[in-house]
Chains A and B, each alone.
Chain A
Amino acid sequence: MAAIAILDRERTVAPLDYNRWRVPPAALAVHLSIGQVYAFSVFNIPLSRTIGITTSAPDDWALSTIGWVFSTAIVFLGLSAALFGRWLERVGPRQAMFASALCFGGGFFVGAAGISSHQFWLLLLGYGVLGGIGLGIGYISPVSTLLKWFPDRPGMATGMAIMGFGGGAMIASPLSARVMEHFRSPTTTGLPETFMTLGAIYLCFMMFGVFTVRLPRAGWVPARHDPAAARGAAPIASPHDVDAHTAVRTPQFWLLWIMLCVNVTAGIGVLGQASAMIQEMFPGVISVSAAAGFVGLLSVANMGGRFLWSSLSDYIGRRATYATFFALGAVLYSAIPTIGRGGSVLLFVLCYAVILTMYGGGFATIPAYLRDMFGTMQVGAIHGRLLTAWSTAGVLGPVLVNYIREYRIAHGVARADAYGLTMYVMAALLVIGFLANARMRPVDAKNHFRGATA
């Protein structure tokens, strides 16, 4: 029982002289781990050859079947973030991060058993369902803790953690390739061993976060912090708390939902097609390896944008930051077809890099925007529910890009020009986001929480 007691919320409260800069590494340990999900595609080819080893055998899993593992994980990310948010606020970050580590690491172990026995349902249950639940709980668990530790710089604090989610794939992709290479032999793909090894690594790394995370004492504020001055940068920010049930009934929640959804739809749609897009828009100029380099560059832009834009939002305010995303984004998306026709690869890459910084920035700045509107009391739970916008965009973005492109090519449009209409549709979506952001007002006083805090 003593081992369980160490996870209690009360045991997580920091001593008076605790240095708050020790909390972001705890959050990063979790987010750098769960960000692995974006590198799942490195397993696609080996998973399709678990029987044939060098080529796919008739009984091997098809790539379209394997695709369901990633999709299931993302669906369960959204569902668990929405469902477990209030539980997280009640039990505190340590218990939630512990549950996340067990689910995410355990997902790899169950997945390894599924690969070893060639039972697809077991792989789906392990990495997809169990791992997906770990993803959802892990994604939201450090957010409200960081907001409480950094009331003077909420954007920067949550941006740091969410930057880790963007960077997780950068570690996972080369790491997975090296571990697979180590275990591969002429008789096996080495995937079960790889999954076991990665599960153990991520479990240990996340446990570092579990035992490092601390909550500030009730009423703690950083030295020289003036809440009224801090709100000056965010004129629509309110010092009042709103509980999660009430928050989802306010127009502010749904305006933020629309904003996150359109920002992610626009970004995810082009991110998934980036490699094909640059090769088709510059035929004969961009090779396959150069296109892979382009995708890598976009990942760096996505990660950097998470920290830079969310930190900037502490100075210019959340509404001004999102207004910049939507206005500048709409201009850049609209300019891409013209730039493509102009033949300037450098300008094209630059445009895309800026777009991807704003895609990442949209993810990273949203928790601070939620804090401005609904306070910190249940911001983790509210954030979890808002992430359903991400799940929606995860379907909407690729579908829009793929279907518009295929429709245009089927109607005789050249491949290089097939993306033009898609870019204009994305720009139109961002205009909707701009209008939603412009309509944002403080939450009505009747929705403010008046009971005892949880």
Chain B
Amino acid sequence: MSHHEQRVRGSTQWLALVIAWTIVGVPALWGVAQTVIKSLALFR
């Protein structure tokens, strides 16, 4: 595998990693944010 191919493959791996974490991270953070907002009622 040439140096260029290695770099392309490395970049693709990183992109796939970022996409994978975004797909699960966004709904998870949305859910946590909704719960935290709801829990603020305890401190009002």
Which A residues lie at the B interface, using CB under 8 A? Answer: 17-19, 21-22, 25-26, 28-29, 32, 164, 167-168, 170-175, 205, 208, 212, 286-287, 289-294, 296-297, 299-300, 303, 349
Contacts and interface: CB of A to CB of B under 8 A. Distances in A.
A296 B38 contact: yes
B17 A297 contact: no
A25 B14 CA distance: 14
Interface in B1-44: 9-10, 13-14, 16-17, 20-21, 23-25, 27-28, 30-32, 34-36, 38-44
A-B CB proximity, top 6 nearest: A171-B31, A170-B31, A293-B41, A293-B42, A296-B39, A25-B20
B23 A25 contact: yes
B34 A174 contact: yes
A228 B20 CA distance: 32
Most buried by A among B9, B31, B34: B31
Contacts of A168: 31
A349 B39 CA distance: 12
Contact of A22 (B9, B16, B27, B31): B16
A168 B20 CA distance: 17
Given A25-B20, A25-B21, A208-B23, A164 B28 contact: yes
A174 B31 contact: yes
Contacts of B39: 293-294, 296-297, 300
A116 B25 CA distance: 34
Contact of A292 (B14, B27, B30, B41): B41
A293 B24 contact: no
A29 B24 contact: yes
Contact of A300 (B24, B35, B44): B35
A32 B17 contact: no
Contact of A167 (B16, B31, B42): B31
B13 A17 contact: yes
Given A22-B20, A28-B24, A29-B23, A300 B32 contact: yes
Given A17-B13, A299-B35, A290 B28 contact: no
7 contacts: A17-B13, A19-B17, A32-B27, A164-B24, A167-B32, A171-B28, A293-B43
A264 to B, nearest CB: 21
Contacts, number: 83
In the complex, which of the residues A28, A32, A175 has the most CB atoms of chain B within 10 Å of its own CB atom?
A: A28
Nearest to B13: A19
A54 to B, nearest CB: 25
B41 to A, nearest CB: 4
B35 A28 contact: no
A212 B20 contact: yes
Given A28-B28, A170-B32, A300-B36, 12 more contacts: A32-B27, A164-B28, A167-B28, A167-B31, A170-B31, A170-B34, A171-B27, A171-B28, A173-B31, A212-B20, A290-B42, A290-B44
Nearest to B23: A208
Contacts of B28: 28, 32, 164, 167, 170-171
Contacts of B25: 25
A292 B39 CA distance: 7
B6 to A, nearest CB: 9
A294 B38 CA distance: 9
Nearest to B34: A174
A231 to B, nearest CB: 29
B5 to A, nearest CB: 12
A290 B14 CA distance: 43
Contacts of A25: 20-21, 23-25
B40 to A, nearest CB: 6
Contacts of A205: 27
Contacts of A26: 20
A289 B24 contact: no
Given A25-B20, A296-B36, A290 B31 contact: no
Contacts of A297: 39, 42
Contacts of A296: 35-36, 38-39, 42
Contacts of A299: 35
A251 B8 CA distance: 52
A18 to B, nearest CB: 8
A309 to B, nearest CB: 18
Nearest to A304: B32
B31 to A, nearest CB: 3
Contacts of B41: 287, 289-290, 292-293
Most chain A CB neighbours (cut-off 10 Å) among B36, B39, B40: B39
